[in-house]
């Protein structure tokens, strides 16, 4: 069964009102394995190094998670993993952010041949019971701080070079092929186009995906981006439209998302704009498309 993000947030709020919430969270966290992320997790566990695994996750995370996005960056000797969570910022959302940060550490411990060194976890919550905070700190081996706009982890950069304990070159090649097909592009698609698609998806998560925003995210000037895309026979507008189409088809396969939510996730300000775009992509309405593919399933 598919569980919506809103339902998960409500469940977290309910559990937080019960005794030993931290115990419940940590028991659930420790039950996670790479397969918890589906085929993306299986691909990550076949990569050679943690750096490759993180790159694989960032590239394909949209296939298994529509409610949040995760990115890694390096500042000095610190590796920072930041969450961008979509939707309303209620208590359930903030609780879920803490949970996913703890899960990230659990998965990194499973992947890496040596335990990762965590410097700190920073929560979106402004308050946290002392017992809960202590329990998380004990699990992490690092302090838990509060009040961040976005939940994030800080780890030692040495983690990036750590070999993945279950690395397998043949499996890695197989899963890359599977993920490329699932993401809707060919394995030999130019790297620039792949990166532009990823930046567009991340932009849509935040509500906007303009050529200027995407160029800035890739460290390019807008004219340079358009020129380089032209060298590959495409434009930013065509990639934006095609990426939206692919995401629309994926989102419509999720029965927990309303058509209004799908339109919002695609960056359309109103449902009518989404309907007009969808009629360009398919000779039917979004609802008819959903019903047709549900019958096939």
User: Do 218 and 149 have their domain in common?
Assistant: no
38-45 helix and 50-60 helix, angle to the nearest 10 degrees: 160
What string of pLDDT tens digits covers the 297 residues of the chain? 344 567 888 889 999 999 999 999 999 999 999 988 999 999 999 999 999 899 889 888 888 887 888 988 888 889 999 998 877 778 999 999 999 999 999 999 999 988 899 999 999 999 999 999 999 999 999 999 999 999 999 999 999 999 999 999 999 889 888 887 787 655 555 778 888 988 898 888 777 789 998 988 888 889 989 999 998 889 999 999 999 999 999 889 888 888 988 898 898 888 999 999 999 999 999 999 998 888 765
**Which residue segment(s) compose the domain that 267 sits in?**
189-296
Q: Measure the CA angle with vertex 185, ends 179 and 188; round to 5°.
A: 95
Quote the pLDDT of residue 189. Answer: 59
157 contacts 77 by C-beta, under 8 angstroms: yes
Query: In whole angstroms, what is the distance from residue 108 CA to residue 135 CA?
Result: 19
For residue 174, give every residue at least 6 positions away whose Cβ sits within 8 Å of its Cβ, in sequence order, or none.
none
CATH no. for residue 239? 1.10.10.60
User: Do 130 and 271 have their domain in common?
Assistant: no
User: Do 93 and 142 have their domain in common?
Assistant: yes
Quote the pLDDT of residue 2. Answer: 42
For 286, counting Cβ atoms within 10 Å of its Cβ (0-12 exposed, 13-18 middle, 19+ buried), the class is buried
Number of domains in the chain: 2
User: Do 152 and 240 have their domain in common?
Assistant: no
Quote the pLDDT of residue 191. Answer: 79
User: Do 31 and 149 have their domain in common?
Assistant: yes
User: Do 92 and 135 have their domain in common?
Assistant: yes
Query: In whole angstroms, what is the distance from residue 204 CA to residue 27 CA?
Result: 34
Query: In whole angstroms, what is the distance from residue 56 CA to residue 167 CA?
Result: 13
- Which of 150, 232, 160, 172 lies closest to 196 in space, CA to CA? 232
Quote the pLDDT of residue 185. Answer: 57
Any domain includes 239? yes
Query: In whole angstroms, what is the distance from residue 91 CA to residue 146 CA?
Result: 14
Query: In whole angstroms, what is the distance from residue 10 CA to residue 7 CA?
Result: 5
Query: In whole angstroms, what is the distance from residue 80 CA to residue 128 CA?
Result: 22
For residue 297, give every residue at least 6 positions away whose Cβ sits within 8 Å of its Cβ, in sequence order, or none.
253
Quote the pLDDT of residue 205. Answer: 76
Quote the pLDDT of residue 177. Answer: 83
DSSP conformational letter for 168: -
User: Do 53 and 125 have their domain in common?
Assistant: yes
């Amino acid at each position: 069964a598919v569980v919506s993000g809103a339902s998960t947030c409500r469940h977290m709020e309910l559990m937080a009102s019960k005794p030993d919430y931290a115990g419940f969270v940590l028991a659930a966290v420790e039950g996670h394995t790479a397969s918890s992320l589906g085929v993306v997790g299986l691909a990550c566990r076949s990569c050679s190094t943690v750096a490759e695994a993180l790159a694989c996750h960032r590239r394909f995370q949209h296939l298994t998670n529509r409610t949040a996005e995760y990115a890694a960056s390096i500042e000095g000797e610190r590796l920072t993993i930041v969450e961008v969570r979509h939707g309303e910022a209620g208590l359930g959302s903030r609780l879920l952010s803490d949970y996913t940060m703890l899960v990230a550490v659990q998965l990194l411990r499973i992947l890496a041949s040596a335990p990762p060194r965590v410097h700190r976890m920073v929560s979106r919550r402004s308050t946290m019971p002392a017992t809960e905070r202590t329990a998380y700190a004990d699990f992490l081996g690092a302090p838990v701080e509060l009040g961040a706009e976005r939940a994030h982890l800080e780890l030692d950069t040495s983690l990036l070079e750590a070999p993945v304990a279950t690395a397998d070159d043949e499996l890695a090649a197989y899963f890359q092929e599977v993920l490329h097909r699932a993401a809707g592009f060919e394995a030999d698609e130019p790297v620039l186009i792949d990166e532009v698609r990823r930046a567009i998806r991340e932009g849509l998560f935040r509500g906007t995906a303009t050529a200027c925003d995407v160029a800035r995210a890739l460290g390019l000037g807008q004219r340079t981006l358009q020129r380089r895309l032209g060298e590959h026979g495409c434009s930013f507008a065509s990639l934006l439209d095609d990426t939206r189409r692919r995401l629309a088809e994926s989102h419509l396969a999720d029965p927990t998302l309303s058509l209004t939510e799908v339109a919002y996730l695609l960056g359309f300000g109103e449902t009518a704009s989404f309907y007009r775009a969808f009629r360009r992509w398919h000779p039917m309405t979004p609802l008819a498309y959903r019903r047709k593919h549900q019958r096939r399933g």
